[in-house]
Amino acid sequence: MEPCDYQRNIQSITNPETGQQEFKDPQHPLARKDGMVMLSRHLMSLCLGRWLHPGEIVIYRDGNPQNLASENLELTTLSKLAHRFRGNSAILHCPYCGLPFKVPPSQKNRRVYHNDTCRRLASRKFEIDPEELRQMVWEIPTTQIASLYGVSDKAVEKRCRALGISKPPRGYWTRPERERVSQEEQV
């Protein structure tokens, strides 16, 4: 059956979720599983003289789903529709590196950093100069360095490893205490 051969009486209803007009006909070639047919798809099929393919989408040029005039209906695909709104992207500036980056309008209030690297670097709690860390590691225990910066000793250990800083061997800080205790006992 061609679109021009469709002779059934159409009684459209407005879908409360989408605002688009639909009608019920389970036998219609464009019917969904629930038997409903979008009136805009049916009208576009009549204009084209063929039934729409599943990947084709009908959009309303003025954005009003109640305006079903043939001049207001436009046939497109999902990929073309996605490219159409690509130019509407918002331009944000990364607070970490300062570079501008584009995001879709739906993400402009959610995205802060332009990539995952900037996000991870900005969320670090433990920023320290490598030379300062190298000096501190040999002067005081890592547990004390960690408490100074409000991080765990494991974070200090990982930062040392990432910066290539060698740490004192295990037990380094207990040896001087033992030597002091033995010297006090001798006196």
Average pLDDT score, the chain: 85
* pLDDT confidence band for 176 (50 / 70 / 90): low
**Residue 107 in 3-state DSSP?**
helix
Does 126 or 67 have the greater pLDDT score? 67
pTM: 0.47
Residue of 16, 15, 85, 82 lying closest to 41 (CA atoms) = 15
Q: Facing residues of 59 across strands?
A: 74
- Nearest-angstrom CA–CA distance, 107 and 172: 51
Q: What is the pLDDT of residue 56?
A: 92
Residue 128's pLDDT is what?
A: 86
Q: What percentage of the chain has pLDDT greater than the value 70?
A: 91
pLDDT attached to residue 172:
83
Amino acid at 169: P
Q: For residue 19, what is the DSSP state?
A: -
Eight-class DSSP state of 151: S
Look at phi and psi of residue 63 and say left if phi exceeds 0, alpha if psi is from -120 to 50, else beta: left
pLDDT score, position 81: 80
Length of the chain: 187
What pLDDT score was predicted for residue 63?
A: 85
Report the greatest alpha carbon distance in the chain. 114
Domain boundaries, the chain: 3-81, 89-122, 127-166
pLDDT at 33 over 90: yes
Helices (H), the chain: 39-48, 78-84, 116-122, 130-139, 142-149, 153-163, 175-186
